[in-house]
Amino acid sequence: MIISKRKVVFSGLSKRWFDQIFLGCGLLPFFLFGAAEKMAAQAATPPLATTPPMGWNSWNTFGPDINAGVVRQVADQMVDFGLKDLGYEYIVLDDHWEGGRDRQGHLLANPQKFPEGIKALADYIHGKGLKLGIYSDAGDQTCGGEVGSFGHEEDDAATFAGWGVDYVKYDYCNAPDDFKEAIRRYTKMGDALKATQRPIVFSICEWGPRSPWLWGRQAGAQLWRTSFDVGDIWDTPGNVQSCIGILTAIDAEANLEGHAGPGGWNDPDMLVVGLGNKGNIKGGGCTVAEYQTQMSMWCLLAAPLMIGCDIRNLDAETKRILTNPEVIAVDQDILGSQGHRVARTGCTDVWLKPLVNGAIAVALLNRDDHPEMITARWQDLGLKPEAAMSVRDLWSHKDLGTYTGKLTLTVQPHATILLKVVSPSETIKK
Ligand code: GLA
């Protein structure tokens, strides 16, 4: 099995295979070693990412063409469009900000793209009440061929902290396939970030083959990718191996809900909502219904919400999808429970996410190219069949009424209806 990033096609089979290797390989001593020291250190630092991180990442739109001017404009728009007030707070510089190392081995920013350096940019971003994220790699080169952090972990972590970085996305290109080595490399950077004593969210990006949901927290991370890069596309194309579709990323999260919670999140990759085939990533574009499905399901899955489109030019539909406070509230619910699938029939899914105060979010997902009637049965939702429940449609902002036993709605092709279901004695928060 080749784990090299560019060559693997994600499949449930390969993930199961890795899970079995993990559980069968006696990793327990590895996890237990040093656990007491780590728990003591963790107790001293404030909790990070108690709800899934939200923000914007440069990669999907800009790829290699990122620079300080663009980032400042994005920061301005995050505030001016009200995205910040909705919880989007991290601005993450993905690959290609780097400019090699100086003679002492310290990381440098690309002087053409970031002439004032990263610290000045961080100051600007912090001045807006936002936070700065940055990208590096556990190999000696990043996926884009820039300088990586392998062998420089302590120094790079100190550099990031000195610049005022609040979030590090750490990739796994040009690094060995071996999972124990991957754990070692991520733990090394996780420890180095912790040693800076600056609260820095640590995001593992090894795409899932080494089951990072099993060891991510122990390595010091607050989120870990569960699949390969999501393209601007609904379903995974048979002939393109370098990206997956929205549906595949959703399916990769099924059965991983036990590994997510406050301080540690499964990450199905960034949002492609609003890219409209104009970005840096492959795919060909999605319909509005498909983008809305991505947002619905990411929230149902308590996934990190990293916008990938150019927020300087948001069209009305994209803005509507990204800024619905009732939908975002499902993602950010303080219970921190990742949703799970409770029923699958042919091309339709019913997913459930427990919310605080006994409420639940329910997603009705239609994979089909035709409208489908989808039924959520109370017994599948863990409700008593005789329970009368109030149902609210979070996209249309409408109370649908009180239902007993089950609820059937027509769902348009590739669309998802996201509902909040509560006992009528509870007030539905609007
Ligand atoms: C990998 C990651 C992407 C992006 C690029 C940058 O492909 O999975 O999210 O960071 O590298 O080169």
- What is the distance between the alpha carbons of residues 76 and 83, in angstroms, rounded to a whole number? 10
Instruction: Count Cα atoms within 13 angstroms, Cβ side, for 173.
Output: 17
Ligand 1 atom nearest to 207, measured from its CA: 8
Rounded to the nearest whole angstrom, what is the distance from the C-alpha of residue 95 to the centroid of ligand 1?
A: 7
Show which residues are catalytic: 171, 229
pLDDT at position 35, please? 53
**Neighbour-count burial of 276, counting CB atoms closer than 10 A to its CB (0-12 exposed, 13-18 middle, 19+ buried):** middle
Ligand 1: centre distance to CA 34 (Å): 31
Rounded distance from Cα 346 to ligand 1 centre (Å): 33
DSSP 224-274: EE-SS-B-SSSS--TT--S-B-HHHHHHHHTT-GGG-BTTBEEE-----TT
Report the C-alpha dihedral over residues 288, 289, 290, 293, rounded to 10 degrees: 120
Contact 59 CB / ligand 1 (< 6 Å): yes
The pick from 95, 98, 224 for probing ligand 1's pocket by mutation, whose C-beta has the most ligand atoms within 8 angstroms, reads: 95
Identity (one letter) of the amino acid at 261? Answer: G
pLDDT in tens, the chain (430 residues): 334 443 333 333 343 333 433 434 444 444 444 555 555 555 556 799 999 999 999 999 999 999 999 999 999 999 999 999 999 999 999 999 999 999 999 999 999 999 999 999 999 999 999 999 999 999 999 999 999 999 999 999 999 999 999 999 999 999 999 999 999 999 999 999 999 999 999 999 999 999 999 999 999 999 999 999 999 999 987 765 678 999 999 999 999 999 999 999 999 999 999 999 998 998 889 999 999 999 999 999 999 999 999 999 999 999 999 999 999 999 999 999 999 999 999 899 999 999 999 999 999 999 999 999 999 999 999 999 999 999 999 999 999 999 999 999 999 999 999 999 999 875 444 4
Q: Please report the DSSP string for 363-390 in residue order.
A: EEEE-SSS-EEEEEETTTTT--TT-EEE
Query: Structure pTM?
Result: 0.91
Tell how far the Cα of 143 is from the centroid of ligand 1, in angstroms. 6
Distance CA 92, CA 25 (A): 35
Report the relative pairing of strands 416-422 and 388-393 from DSSP bridges. antiparallel
Nearest CA to ligand 1 atom 1: 143
Task: Find, among 189, 255, 193, 183, the residue nearest to 226 by Cα.
Answer: 255
Pocket flag, ligand 1, residue 137 (CB < 6 Å):
no
Does the C-beta of 144 come closer than 6 Å to ligand 1?
yes
How much is the pLDDT for 425?
A: 73
First-to-last alpha carbon distance for the chain, in angstroms, is 49
Are 418 and 293 in contact by the 8 Å Cβ rule? The answer is no
Which residue matches tokens 């001045």? 127
Q: What is the per-residue pLDDT for 41?
A: 52
The pLDDT assigned to 46 comes to 76
> Which residue's C-alpha comes closest to atom 3 of ligand 1?
229
Q: Residue of the nearest CA to atom 6 in ligand 1? A: 95
- Regarding the beta carbon of 205 and ligand 1, being less than 6 Å apart is answered yes
Residue 81 CB neighbours (<10 A)? 17
* Rg of the chain taking only CA atoms, in angstroms: 21
User: How many Å lie between the centroid of ligand 1 and the Cα of residue 336?
Assistant: 26
Residue whose token pair is 């498909």: 290
The DSSP 8-state label assigned to residue 338 in this structure reads P
Cβ burial 310-328 (10 Å sphere, 16+ → b, else e): bbeebeeebeebbbbebbb
Query: Domains of the chain, with CATH numbers?
Result: 54-331 (3.20.20.70), 340-422 (2.60.40.1180)
CA gap 50, 335 in Å, rounded = 9
Closest residue to atom 11 of ligand 1, CA basis: 143
What pLDDT score does 144 carry? 98
Specify the residue with its C-alpha closest to ligand 1, atom 5: 143
Residue to substitute in 60, 61, 141, 171 for testing ligand 1 pocket (most ligand atoms within 8 angstroms of CB): 171
Task: Scan for tokens 């996201």, then name that residue.
Answer: 418
Query: Is 143 close to ligand 1, i.e. is its CB under 6 Å away?
Result: yes
Measured in residues, the chain has a length of: 430
Strand order in the sheet with 348-354: 340-345, 348-354, 360-366, 416-422, 388-393, 398-404
Alpha-carbon span 397 to 323, nearest angstrom: 13
